[in-house]
Amino acid sequence: MTDVDPINSTLEGLLKVLSMDNVIGEPIESDGRTLIPITRIGMGFGAGTGQDSPVKGSQGLGAGGGAAVEPIAFVVINKNVEGPEQIEVISLKSQEPLNTAISEISDLALEFLNEWRERQKKNEEKREQMRKGLEDIIPP
């Protein structure tokens, strides 16, 4: 066992993830526009060795790491427009007013639906109690 192999192989794997091709993605051509995806990459790495007492002579070596890739934006190049307006950056992280409104409306709709279901359930329980009460008074 060599001391460098696990560390080197772990580092090589992480460096593949950290390549510029993964940060700035392949351009996508569509309708006179070019979309270029932009991502954020995070990485962590650790390695260590240990040795038991010199009498026993055992030793150990370990390495590990991880990486995450998250899309954060698109660069849009409009080939039909001239000047600075030709390039636009669309963030996938910011809360645009429309995104915020849609999110809030969907939250309200789910809340309304849950309340409506709960009321329907209570109403059905009341109807069932009324039926049982009527059956006690007027036999079927």
pLDDT by residue (tens digit) across 17-55? 666 666 777 888 888 889 888 888 887 777 777 887 777
* Whether 88 and 35 share a structural domain: yes
Run of H or E including 82: none
pTM of the model: 0.46
What Cα–Cα distance (Å) separates residue 13 from each residue in 10, 56, 62, 64?
Answer: 5, 33, 15, 10
Residue 1 pLDDT level (bands cut at 50, 70, 90): very low
Place 84 in a pLDDT band, splitting at 50, 70 and 90: confident
Same domain? For 49 and 22 the reply is: yes
Indicate whether 23 and 80 sit together in one domain.
yes
**What's the total number of domains in the chain?**
2
pLDDT at 107 over 60: yes
Residue 42: which domain range?
A: 1-93
3-7, 33-37, 77-81, 118-122: which range is least confident on average?
A: 3-7
My answer on whether 28 and 83 are in the same domain is yes
Kindly state whether residues 136 and 123 are assigned to the same domain. yes
